[in-house]
Chain A
Amino acid sequence: DGGITQSPKYLFRKEGQNVTLSCEQNLNHDAMYWYRQDPGQGLRLIYYSQIVNDFQKGDIAEGYSVSREKKESFPLTVTSAQKNPTAFYLCASSLAGFNNEQFFGPGTRLTVL
Chain B
Amino acid sequence: DQQVKQNSPSLSVQEGRISILNCDYTNSMFDYFLWYKKYPAEGPTFLISISSIKDKNEDGRFTVFLNKSAKHLSLHIVPSQPGDSAVYFCAATQNNAGNMLTFGGGTRLMVKP
Contact = CB atoms under 8 A, between A and B. Distances in A.
A42 B101 CA distance: 11
Chain B interface extent, by class:
20 to 34
Contacts of A106: 41-43
Could you say which of A97, A98, A105, A107 has the most chain B C-beta atoms within 10 Å of its C-beta? A98
24 contacts: A31-B99, A40-B9, A41-B106, A42-B4, A42-B105, A42-B106, A43-B89, A50-B99, A88-B41, A90-B43, A92-B43, A96-B99, A99-B51, A99-B93, A99-B95, A101-B46, A101-B49, A102-B101, A103-B46, A104-B43, A104-B44, A106-B42, A107-B41, A107-B42
Interface of A: 4, 6, 31, 35, 40-45, 48, 50, 88, 90, 92, 94-107, 109
